[in-house]
Amino acid sequence: MPEVIRIQDIARHAGEQVAIQGWLYNRTDKGKLQFLLVRDGTGFAQCVVFEKDVSPEVFEAANELTQESSLVISGVVRQDDRAPGVPGGYEIGVTDLDVLQIAEEYPIQLKEHGVDFLMDNRHLWVRSQSQWAVLRVRATVVRAIRDWLDEHDFVNMDTPIITPAACEGTSTLFETDYFGEPAYLAQSGQLYNEANIYAFGRVYCFGPTFRAEKSKTRRHLTEFWMVEPEMTFCDLDQYMEIGEQFVSYIVQTCLKERAQELELLGRDVSHLEKVAPPFPRVSYDDALEMLAEIREETEDEALRQSLAIEWGDDFGSPHETELTKRFEKPVFVYGYPTMAKAFYMEPWPGRPEVSKSADLLAPEGYGEIIGGSERISNPDLLLQRLREWNLPREAFEWYIDLRKYGSVPHSGFGLGVERTVTWICGLDHLRETISFPRMLKRVYP
């Protein structure tokens, strides 16, 4: 057998005899010619079987291949602009074919299927070209996240998944039995990182987080991946500067390294090309005014109703969607009402009803991808907040301690991987951005 190559490297082997190990994705029968679209995990390549170039047995075998049959194909790499799949146009003129298994009739054909059907078959759907493209973008997002933080002196900490208390509100906790005591799956690693920064200055945790989201939306999973950087001697402005550099790097890395995948997904990348610092910053108060204008201008009664909001409310998806349609770049909305956010946020100087918080909303209607804030550094204020939020002091003793031994201003934020990938790929729904999504009505497969 000739040297086995991977489809992603095919251009380097033009003119050579090679082998590819993979699966049949699609087949077009043109009589004496069989066009086999083969995938091997690294890409998709057209392999052309011409009756007169192969033995009758090989031609017959090619004819009988079903979708997803596993095979080893040998042939010569040639450049052809018309060849689909590989950037630059490379295909294989087949000389030999070895069939490992003829696949049973494959449930997912290359046509439109309903979402429930595809989700029930997620274990097979991940093989589809669009899913392959999305999940490769995800992998690049994850690597870009780590690269940027590691290069900027953030020390990676792994925070616990089993925790004694809530970080982001008690209504979305997954409770579990911890040897007879209640414990909860982590909603966030932030509180632990507020301890870790006092040892390392800048840290991040990056792992799965859990929220018992009881509503079915296209922006919420019950298990999602979040990266959470936390920094000492850092105020709200400094957090936003770091956030915009970080997000710009992630987006630009995807444009550079995943151009083929974004093209496969039909993503208009012109918006993404504009993602560079500085990002616009809008106060919550000004955002409310913009929303009021949008409500006045629209003829759409349903939209007008969904945008109804009063000072003090947090934004919902409709508000974020409409606001971010008006921006070309991601936008920071800062200064949310204290009561709309989590207990740990530093109040605005002179305006205790406002918090030193900022969310980053992605453009084109995508909405929140980052939530963050400056944290309370005064122990008495923190105690007051725990009381106001009805949180049990015992579970937070260690967290209060952090404010007693050299407390300093500090800030941090959390970026959701799935929301970010949804935006970069231009998808309608979060569910395609993780290989096996967990949602309100979905724990299988």
Positions in the binding site for ligand 4AD (CB under 6 A): 167-168, 188, 190, 211, 213, 220-221, 224, 226, 228, 368-372, 412-414, 416, 418-419
Minimum Å gap between C-beta 304 and ligand 4AD is 26
Alpha-carbon distance of 356 to 351, in angstroms, equals 10
Say if residue 392 is preceded by a cis peptide, omega within 30 of 0: no
Alpha helix (H) residue ranges in 233-378: 236-257, 259-264, 270-273, 284-297, 301-306, 317-325
Residue 224 binding target from Mg ion, ligand 4AD, none, CB below 5 to 8 Å by type:
ligand 4AD
243 binds Mg ion (CB under 5 A): no
Residue 325: which of 251, 271, 285, 269 has the closest Cα?
Answer: 271
Contact criterion met (CB below 8 Å) for 227 and 417: yes
Minimum Å gap between C-beta 196 and ligand 4AD is 12
Residue 39 binding target from ligand 4AD, Mg ion, none, CB below 5 to 8 Å by type:
none
Residue 75 binding target from ligand 4AD, Mg ion, none, CB below 5 to 8 Å by type:
none
Residue 221 binding target from ligand 4AD, Mg ion, none, CB below 5 to 8 Å by type:
ligand 4AD
- Residue 293: CB atoms within 10 A of its CB come to 11
Residue 228 binding target from Mg ion, ligand 4AD, none, CB below 5 to 8 Å by type:
ligand 4AD
Alpha-carbon distance of 343 to 385, in angstroms, equals 6
Q: Which is nearer to ligand 4AD, 330 or 416 (CB)?
A: 416
Residue 414 binding target from ligand 4AD, Mg ion, none, CB below 5 to 8 Å by type:
ligand 4AD
371 binds Mg ion (CB under 5 A): yes
Minimum Å gap between C-beta 143 and ligand 4AD is 18
DSSP three-state, residue 373: strand
337 binds Mg ion (CB under 5 A): no
Sheet holding 162-163, edge to edge: 162-163, 181-185, 175-178
Give the chain's radius of gyration (CA, Å).
Answer: 26
Alpha-carbon distance of 309 to 305, in angstroms, equals 9
Q: Tell me which stretch binds Mg ion (CB under 5 A): 41-49, 221-229, 302-310, 364-372.
A: 364-372
- Residue 427: CB atoms within 10 A of its CB come to 20
DSSP three-state, residue 436: coil
**Beta-bridge partners for 207:** 226
Minimum Å gap between C-beta 229 and ligand 4AD is 8
Query: Tokens standing for 53?
Result: 């170039």
Q: How far is CA 9 from CA 3, 45, 76, 102, 128, in A?
A: 12, 11, 14, 26, 20
Minimum Å gap between C-beta 189 and ligand 4AD is 7
Minimum Å gap between C-beta 291 and ligand 4AD is 19
Minimum Å gap between C-beta 216 and Mg ion is 18
Q: Which is nearer to Mg ion, 337 or 371 (CB)?
A: 371
Contact criterion met (CB below 8 Å) for 205 and 192: yes
Residue 439 binding target from Mg ion, ligand 4AD, none, CB below 5 to 8 Å by type:
none
Q: Which is nearer to ligand 4AD, 129 or 188 (CB)?
A: 188
Residue 315 binding target from Mg ion, ligand 4AD, none, CB below 5 to 8 Å by type:
none
Query: Tokens standing for 409?
Result: 């201003």
Q: Which is nearer to ligand 4AD, 127 or 429 (CB)?
A: 429
What burial class does residue 88 get, using C-beta atoms within 10 Å of its C-beta: 0-12 exposed, 13-18 middle, 19+ buried?
Answer: exposed
DSSP three-state, residue 398: helix
Minimum Å gap between C-beta 387 and ligand 4AD is 20
Q: Which is nearer to Mg ion, 92 or 333 (CB)?
A: 333
Using CB under 5 A, list all residues that contact Mg ion: 371
